[in-house]
């Protein structure tokens, strides 16, 4: 069946049933939840096979748990979200009434990246289902084993006019973007996001773009330094840095680079002991997803070295191209025009950039495209308030990394080059709903006073209203 034919089945059902009762939405969410619980081990194994090695513990925690959290939040609150909302009526229009009716948009298209193929499918899908929509999902060609498994599992749990899953390469992705979705959400790189938006614009399809960019971690002078290093390294090395909100570079006080490297090495030794003993199997540390990305990261390193940067390995393990294992490394004395400070890294390489005062760190961030995430480590409320008020980022975690994405009561999304639109929780429900305004006129109202022919009474009313 062609992509168009598969889309048409969803489209026809969405138009035949524009209002989806809560019982049907709940049933779909519960089926999705059961699918994850029943097949979580197989899903983790498939993702690991696609990466070459991906910690199954990380998959269970970062993808299965967080996906279930999104579903459970929607199950708990979805019935309330879909209730009509009474809005105030301006005094001159009373006793009429205003309300907003949340309605399903129809068919939501979801384009999923390879780095978190389960979470970044189920997260938006849970929001779309809670809002009463049907969905069509395009999975990444870089995770084909997971893609084949997830497509089969969805077919077993849902009819093809509820949810349909598509696998394939770039040509399939282009055709997918050109379909007449009622909303399209894409998670991936900024460069591909531009192309997605361009193609979708031909049909005026509204888009949510969750992109990436260079998310900074700022260590203030008064921060608990060892805690800051531990949490930055932890956030950086989950999925070997292949995370859209991973700390991309660190801004730290001048002269503390050696302190950072020493503390980071201690964290790596404690959390990934196999990276300091090549006799051990490196089960908990994820491989780079494919040869192309491994070569790209090596090229970033080579460019930085060639421009005078110093590379400090954070473990004794050496890169293994055959297994695509790239151990963590910090970089100092990095020239501003190097590729590693210009491009999103998406790997376990961490440039350290020094500053003299916090204003200089803020200026460094603001001189660059707005990031998807920002991390600040500080004790002083004055310093925290200064950074929060003087920088713009998609989301912020203070005194930790990554965790704002796991808060279902907070919106998640980018700003500027790091994306547009937000979802998660109630914001996700609203993102995939049409919030229809309804004005209900009262039998007795004053509108007749404003009808032609206009005379002295009308002039008197206008004089009173416009002042």
Same domain, 125 and 262: no
Same domain, 60 and 200: yes
- Joined tokens for residue 150: 């997830």
The helix (H) or strand (E) run that includes residue 240 is none
- Active site residue: 63, 162, 210, 427, which one? 210
Asked about 210 being catalytic, the answer comes back as: yes
- Is the Cβ–Cβ distance between 183 and 105 less than 8 Å? yes
pLDDT, residue 69, reads 97
Residue 30 structural domain:
3-211+417-439
pLDDT, residue 281, reads 77
Same domain, 148 and 253: no
Residue 462, domain member (yes or no):
no
Final residue of a structural domain among 410, 431, 462: 410
Cα 36 to Cα 153: distance, rounded to the nearest angstrom = 9
- Is the Cβ–Cβ distance between 207 and 184 less than 8 Å? yes
Residue with the larger pLDDT of the pair 447 and 328: 328
Number of domains in the chain: 2
Cα 112 to Cα 118: distance, rounded to the nearest angstrom = 8
> pLDDT per residue over 274-302, tens digit each?
999 877 778 899 999 999 999 999 999 99
Residue 457, domain member (yes or no):
no
Same domain, 287 and 202: no
With a CB cutoff of 8 Å and minimum separation 6, the contacts of 114 are 50, 140, 142, 143, 289
The helix (H) or strand (E) run that includes residue 168 is none
Residue 83, domain member (yes or no):
yes
Instruction: Tell me the CATH number at 263.
Output: 3.40.309.10
pLDDT, residue 444, reads 86
Diameter of the chain by CA atoms?
96
The helix (H) or strand (E) run that includes residue 282 is none
Same domain, 150 and 235: no
Instruction: Tell me the CATH number at 46.
Output: 3.40.605.10
Contacts by 360-364 with C-beta closer than 8 Å and gap 24+?
Answer: 361/218, 361/251, 361/387, 362/386, 362/387, 362/390, 362/391, 364/216, 364/251
For residue 15, pLDDT over 80 is answered with: yes
Residue holding tokens 């609203």?
430
Same domain, 146 and 271: no
pLDDT, residue 6, reads 97
Residue 62, domain member (yes or no):
yes
For the entire predicted model, the pTM comes to: 0.95
> pLDDT per residue over 252-267, tens digit each?
999 999 999 999 999 9
Cα 195 to Cα 121: distance, rounded to the nearest angstrom = 20
Cα 209 to Cα 188: distance, rounded to the nearest angstrom = 8
């Amino acid at each position: 069946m062609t992509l168009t034919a598969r889309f048409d089945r969803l489209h026809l059902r969405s138009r035949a049933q524009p209002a989806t009762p809560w019982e049907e939405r709940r049933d779909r969410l519960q089926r999705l939840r059961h699918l994850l619980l029943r097949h979580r081990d197989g899903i983790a194994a498939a993702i690991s096979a696609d990466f070459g090695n991906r910690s199954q513990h990380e998959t269970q925690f970062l993808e299965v748990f967080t996906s279930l959290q999104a579903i459970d939040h929607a199950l708990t609150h979805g019935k309330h979200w879909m209730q009509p909302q009474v809005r105030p009526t301006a005094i001159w229009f009373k006793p009429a009434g205003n309300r907003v009716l949340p309605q399903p948009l129809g068919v939501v298209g979801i384009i999923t990246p390879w780095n978190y193929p389960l979470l970044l499918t189920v997260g938006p899908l849970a929001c779309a289902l809670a809002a009463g929509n049907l969905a069509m999902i395009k999975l990444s060609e870089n995770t084909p084993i997971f893609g084949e498994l997830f497509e089969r599992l969805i077919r077993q749990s849902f009819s093809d006019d509820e949810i349909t899953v598509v696998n394939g390469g770039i040509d399939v992705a282009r055709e997918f973007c050109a379909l007449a979705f009622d909303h399209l959400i894409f998670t991936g790189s900024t460069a591909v996001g531009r192309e997605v938006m361009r193609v979708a614009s031909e049909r005026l399809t509204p888009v949510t773009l969750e992109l990436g960019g260079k998310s900074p971690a700022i260590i203030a002078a008064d921060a608990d330094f060892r805690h800051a290093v531990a949490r930055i390294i932890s956030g950086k090395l989950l999925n070997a840095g292949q995370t859209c909100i991973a700390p991309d570079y660190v801004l730290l006080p001048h002269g503390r680079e050696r302190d950072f490297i020493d503390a980071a090495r201690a964290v790596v030794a404690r959390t990934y002991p196999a990276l300091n003993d090549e006799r051990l199997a490196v089960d908990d540390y994820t491989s780079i997803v494919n040869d192309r990305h491994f070569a790209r990261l090596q090229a970033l390193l080579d460019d930085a070295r060639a421009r005078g940067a110093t590379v400090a390995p954070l473990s004794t393990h050496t890169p293994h191209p055959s297994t695509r294992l790239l151990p963590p490394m910090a970089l100092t004395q990095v020239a501003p025009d190097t590729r590693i400070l210009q491009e999103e890294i998406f790997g376990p390489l961490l440039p350290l950039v020094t500053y003299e005062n916090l204003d200089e760190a803020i200026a460094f961030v603001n001189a660059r495209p707005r990031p998807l995430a920002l991390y600040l480590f500080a004790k002083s409320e004055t310093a925290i308030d200064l950074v929060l008020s003087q920088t713009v980022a998609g989301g912020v975690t203070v005194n930790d990394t990554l965790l704002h994405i796991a808060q279902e009561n907070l919106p998640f999304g980018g700003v500027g080059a790091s994306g547009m639109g937000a979802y998660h929780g109630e914001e996700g429900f609203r993102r995939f709903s049409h919030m229809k305004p309804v004005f209900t006129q009262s039998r007795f109202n004053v509108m007749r006073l404003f009808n032609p022919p206009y005379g002295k009474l009308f002039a008197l009313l206008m004089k009173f209203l416009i002042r």
